[in-house]
Amino acid sequence: MANYVLAVSGGIDSVVLLDMFDWPADTIVAHFNHGIRPSADADCAFVKRLSRRYGFEFASEKAALGQNCSENLARQRRYDFLRRIAKAHQAEIVTAHHADDCIESIAINCLRGTGWRGLAPLDNPEIFRPMLALHKADIYRYAAEHRLSFRLDQTNNEEQYLRNRLRRVLQAVSPSDKAQLLRYYHRQLALKAEIDQLMREILGTRNYIPRKLLLESGDAGAELLRFFLRTHGCLLTRPQANRCLREIKNFTPGKKYSLDKTHFLEARRQAFYLC
């Protein structure tokens, strides 16, 4: 089975990811064609040639999301594909996210009114991101020094995407301020790890959460609920968790709250059970 599935778009970041590290021979190069741009097929062909040059297996999938596709939908479909490939080969997903991606993600989350977890993005333990210590300038420098060819994504210049607009604003931020923000980011990651460990100790692995604990924890109630559900494969946003707490507060035993298409919270006398 493969050790790694490299997410390679053909852009400079992922091409550097492919070249910079000594990946094992059973590595898989994975490319998702969103079907958003006319040049997407050429990008796929380019990545296929790259994978052959490096001697790696190539996997791809093409969608037809169209030019009006949102960033969130494109990201979701791409990661769905990567997870399928990784699961089939019992491998770890690897992406080319770097330090500037991290700063952009924090800024976007803040603009959208994030909770504290939004200050610690790109920390999914299922995904290996070996380039987080590098800035975009480091990546350009490496590509130039090693004469790497890569594809240009024209959507990076389109104003309809928030990340593109924000990227131009962040160009005015000084390197020292960016470095300070990254220090805060790593501190937040450490705090998040401590909080998650504490909640694991409180909640354990059982499929229920005590009613008193959930409803008498104040502002922490939504965080406890989200963590409990996430450990059982049910993902809620912060607003969804807050709404759930408001609605189940006076549920009588036997009444159920629909979380999504497959998960429910059933009220019982002493606890809420996930079913």
pLDDT tens, residue by residue, 194-249: 999 999 999 999 999 999 999 898 888 999 999 999 999 898 888 899 999 999 99
* 123 shares a domain with 32: yes
Assigned domain for 190 exists? no
Residue 247 is predicted with a pLDDT of 94
Residue with tokens 């009220």: 267
Assigned domain for 112 exists? yes
Amino acid at 80: D
Assigned domain for 183 exists? no
> What predicted TM-score, i.e. pTM, was given to this entire model?
0.83
* 21 shares a domain with 145: yes
* 158 shares a domain with 210: no
Q: Are 95 and 8 a contacting pair, CB within 8 Å?
A: no
Structural domain for 228, as ranges: 205-274
The tally of domains found in the chain comes to 2
Could you tell me the two tokens for 153? 């994504």
**Residue pLDDT, tens place only, 132-176:** 999 999 999 999 999 999 998 766 655 666 777 888 778 888 889
Q: What CATH number should be reported for the domain holding residue 55?
A: 3.40.50.620
* 9 shares a domain with 108: yes
* 86 shares a domain with 37: yes
